[in-house]
C-alpha cells in the first residue's frame, strides 16, 4: 500500500495511538521507500512527524514489545514501521535538515536489506 492510500485510512493504529493516525503514511514497508518519502517531504512535514512521534516513542516501544517480530498484528506492524521512519529521519530533523552541496544524495544510498 502506498503512502497516499495509508494516509487516507483511519482506525488502523491501536486505539491508544489514534493521535498518530495523521502520520500513517510514514509506515511504508521498506527502508528504501521510507528514505524516498523522507527526501520528498518538506522540513515542516519532517518536523511535524518527528514532534508527534518522539514524545510517544517510549509508549510505542512498550506496546510493540508485547509481540514477537514475526507475529505482530497489522496495526502493530504499521506502528513499528512508523517508529523505524522516525529513526530514519531523526538526524535530518535534529541537524535542521542541512542540505549542503557536497551531501550524499539519498538516491545513491542502497540499503543492504529491504526492511
**76, three cell numbers:** 502493530
Q: What is the pLDDT of residue 22?
A: 96
**What is each CA distance from 53 to 18, 47, 62, 114, in whole angstroms?**
12, 10, 14, 23
Residue 9: inside a domain, yes or no? Answer: no
Is residue 92 a contact partner of residue 59, using CB atoms and an 8 Å limit? no
Closest CA to 26 of 55, 59, 58, 51: 51
Residue 76: inside a domain, yes or no? Answer: yes
**93, three cell numbers:** 530533523
Higher pLDDT pick, 1 / 105: 105
The parent domain of residue 79 ranges over 34-97
Residue 6: pLDDT over 70: no
Residue 55: inside a domain, yes or no? Answer: yes
Looking at the whole model, is its pTM more than 0.85? no
Residue 103: inside a domain, yes or no? Answer: no
Residue 27: inside a domain, yes or no? Answer: no
Separation of alpha carbons 55 and 79, rounded Å: 14
pLDDT band at 15; cut points 50, 70, 90 = very high
Residue 18: inside a domain, yes or no? Answer: no
Residue 77: inside a domain, yes or no? Answer: yes
Place of cell 538526524: 91
Residue 8: inside a domain, yes or no? Answer: no
Q: How many domains does the chain have?
A: 1
Tell me what percent of the residues of the chain surpass a pLDDT of 70: 74
CB count within 10 Å of CB 6 equals: 19
Amino acid at each position: 500500500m502506498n503512502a497516499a492510500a495509508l494516509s487516507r485510512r483511519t482506525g488502523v493504529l491501536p486505539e491508544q495511538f489514534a493521535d498518530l493516525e495523521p502520520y500513517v503514511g510514514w509506515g511504508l514497508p521498506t527502508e528504501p521507500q521510507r528514505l524516498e518519502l523522507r527526501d520528498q517531504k518538506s522540513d515542516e512535514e519532517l518536523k511535524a512527524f518527528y514532534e508527534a512521534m518522539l514524545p510517544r516513542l517510549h509508549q510505542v516501544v512498550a506496546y510493540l514489545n508485547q509481540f514477537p517480530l514475526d507475529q505482530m498484528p497489522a496495526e502493530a506492524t504499521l506502528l513499528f514501521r512508523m517508529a523505524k521512519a522516525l529513526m530514519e529521519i531523526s538526524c535530518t530533523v535534529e541537524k535542521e535538515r542541512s542540505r549542503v552541496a557536497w551531501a550524499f544524495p539519498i538516491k545513491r544510498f542502497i540499503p543492504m536489506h529491504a526492511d
